[in-house]
């Protein structure tokens, strides 16, 4: 799947917002300034090496590396022209001219059987001296959202400051996945027996391994067969994270995802893949084996190999062991992954993250995923249903296309989905009068299904983040017209499993 067509050349959009501030799009020449802005904006955030007690943290080098990496022109998720910037045109010599920024990523994913491109906002920052001036609002509404909508993103998500992005047309509607777990100390990992040869070892990935990586990272291989909403690990992703990012690596914090092929020490054959990442904490993101192999035999040799790999990568060999970056492990493989089950005695329960989610047009999104909705209908008690589903959202929210939605169904097929304006009480009364006057005539009345849902709450139902019962319970104004409407919504939009990695680039 092609993720997105790279923007051809620099973007010319430039917006003067007063006080010497101008919004514009980036080029490669902005990489160092973006890195400087991010390192200052995230100075006090816990990303990267621990800060000794009683000391003031310096600029955040982990986030500096991220910004510079995204603007090198070889990123898998964006071009060097996809960072929206606020520039202070009155900056003094030697002063970083950038005061706010937000970039737009594109990542491949799926909704059931339908492949999608997800728009993803990332690495958003404002210099402390320029906060609370509405700069991020301007960047999102005047630049990022229009650019995302123009290229056809039907859904967007972002991980960010709690509550902050709710004011920009987002709501919490995507989960990173099932609850994570944490090995609080790597000393809990059993040591290999003295004189024992490890049954499995890890080797570095080459370009020739990319087809194997794609083959081994499908949802069923990752033990996420029942996941209905997630991201795809495609050829472009693997090429970038295992090769291209190393070609332009400038910092120890570049290439933060470490991918290794698992090799059977006895046969010398490649038998699996493991991926871990580091952004303030070490996390196990992916672990898959060839069918027929025992996770019980492989999990501890693989873990021990990963610990050695990570410590060699990040630790200062002259520093004492207590200063290690790599002292615990977050497991994000999914609660039903065999390794998660095997390691359960060693771990402490963690949590998952909810991602802000924006669907600019429910109508366009539902038309795109109609095959999934129709397949759900075909397996339900409503197989072959006909009628009209009307949803009232009470008001139109900025960044969303309408204040209501109308879906036409015919014999189990979705024939149209469009924005809809609910009738006023007067219009409803006149419609009832019209029908009474026409009583006795031969008419074919289609079933009318309906619900009233709080603004943006429908997003959570569309993504399957919560069930209809939960949606009705959590919002006082939400209601459904009747039992038939409830059943239809439950069939179309069940609660489902998600698998999203919020920082996979």
User: What pLDDT does 313 receive?
Assistant: 81
Q: In the structure, what pLDDT confidence band is assigned to residue 13 with cuts at 50, 70 and 90? A: very high
Which of these ranges, 77-91, 377-391, 425-439, has the smallest mean pLDDT?
425-439
User: What pLDDT does 295 receive?
Assistant: 96
Q: What pTM was computed for the model?
A: 0.89
Q: For 38-127, where are the E strands, in sequence order?
A: 83-88, 98-111, 114-126
Give per-residue pLDDT as tens, 19-59.
999 999 999 999 999 999 999 999 998 777 777 778 888 99
More confident residue, 178 or 422: 422
* Whole-number average pLDDT of the chain: 91
What CATH code would you report for 14-153? 3.40.630.30
Q: What's the CA gap between 263 and 305, in Å, rounded? A: 11
Look at the domain 181-349 and name its fold: Aminopeptidase (3.40.630)
Among 332, 282, 357, 283, residue whose Cα is nearest residue 178? 332
User: What pLDDT does 290 receive?
Assistant: 97
Domain boundaries, the chain: 14-153, 181-349, 358-496
Tell which CATH classification among 3.30.450.20, 3.90.1150.10, 3.40.50.300, 3.30.1050.10 matches the domain 358-496.
Answer: 3.30.1050.10
How confident is the model over 486-500, as a mean pLDDT? 96
- Asked if 443 and 378 count as a contact pair (C-beta separation under 8 A), the reply is no
User: What pLDDT does 323 receive?
Assistant: 67
Domains 14-153 and 181-349 share a fold: yes
Q: Is 433 helix (H, G, I), strand (E, B) or coil?
A: helix
How confident is the model over 158-184, as a mean pLDDT? 89
With 0-12 / 13-18 / 19 or more C-beta atoms within 10 angstroms meaning exposed / middle / buried, residue 335 is middle
Give per-residue pLDDT as tens, 345-355.
998 887 778 89
How confident is the model over 74-82, as a mean pLDDT? 94
Q: For residue 451, how many C-alpha atoms fall within 13 Å in the half-sphere facing its CB?
A: 25
Is pLDDT of 441 > 60? no
Which of these ranges, 230-244, 277-291, 401-415, has the smallest mean pLDDT?
277-291
How confident is the model over 268-273, as a mean pLDDT? 98
Which of these ranges, 107-116, 210-219, 422-431, has the smallest mean pLDDT?
422-431
């Amino acid at each position: 799947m092609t993720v997105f067509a790279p923007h051809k050349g620099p973007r010319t959009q430039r917006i003067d917002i007063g006080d010497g501030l101008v919004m514009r799009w980036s080029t490669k020449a902005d990489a160092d300034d973006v890195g400087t802005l991010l390192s200052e904006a995230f100075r006090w955030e816990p990303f990267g090496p621990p800060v000794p007690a009683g000391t003031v943290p310096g600029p955040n080098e982990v986030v500096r590396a991220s910004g510079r990496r995204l603007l090198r022109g070889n990123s898998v998720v964006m071009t060097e022209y996809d960072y929206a910037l606020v520039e202070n045109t009155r900056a003094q010599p030697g002063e970083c001219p950038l005061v706010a920024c937000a970039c737009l990523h594109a990542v491949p994913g799926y909704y059931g059987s339908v492949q999608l491109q997800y728009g993803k906002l990332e690495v958003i920052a404002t210099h402390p001296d320029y906060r609370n001036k509405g700069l991020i609002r301007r960047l999102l509404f005047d630049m990022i959202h229009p650019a995302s909508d123009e290229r056809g993103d039907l859904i967007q998500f972002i991980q960010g400051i709690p509550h902050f992005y709710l004011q920009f047309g987002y709501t919490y509607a995507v989960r990173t996945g099932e609850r994570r777990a944490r090995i609080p100390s790597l000393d809990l990992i059993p040591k290999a027996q003295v004189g024992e040869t490890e049954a499995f070892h890890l080797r570095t990935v080459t370009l020739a391994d990319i087809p194997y990586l794609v083959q081994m990272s499908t949802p069923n291989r990752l033990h996420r067969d029942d996941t209905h909403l997630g991201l795809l690990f495609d050829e472009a992703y693997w090429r970038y994270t295992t090769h291209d990012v190393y070609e332009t690596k400038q910092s120890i914090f570049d290439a933060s995802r470490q991918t290794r092929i698992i090799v059977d020490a006895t046969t010398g054959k490649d038998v699996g893949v493991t991926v871990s990442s580091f952004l303030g904490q070490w996390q196990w993101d992916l672990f898959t084996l060839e069918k027929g192999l025992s996770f019980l035999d492989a999990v501890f040799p693989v873990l021990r190999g990963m610990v050695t790999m990570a410590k060699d990568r990040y630790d200062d060999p002259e520093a004492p062991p207590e200063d290690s970056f790599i002292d615990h492990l977050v497991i994000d493989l999914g609660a039903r992954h065999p390794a998660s089950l095997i390691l359960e005695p060693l771990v402490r329960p963690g949590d998952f993250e909810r991602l802000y989610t924006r669907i600019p047009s429910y109508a366009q999104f539902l038309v795109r995923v109609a095959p999934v909705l129709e397949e759900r209908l075909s397996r339900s008690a409503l197989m072959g249903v006909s009628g009209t589903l009307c949803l009232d959202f009470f008001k139109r929210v900025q960044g969303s296309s309408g204040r209501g939605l109308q879906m036409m169904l015919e014999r189990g097929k979705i024939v149209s989905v469009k924005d809809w304006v609910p009738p006023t009480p007067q219009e409803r009364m006149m419609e009832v009068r019209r029908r009474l006057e026409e009583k006795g005539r031969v008419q074919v009345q289609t079933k009318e299904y309906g619900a009233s849902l709080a603004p943006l709450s429908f997003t959570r139902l569309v993504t399957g983040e919560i069930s209809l019962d939960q949606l009705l319970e959590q919002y006082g104004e939400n209601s459904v017209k009747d039992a038939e409407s409830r059943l239809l919504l439950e069939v179309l939009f069940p609660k489902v499993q998600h698998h999203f990695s919020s920082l996979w680039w």
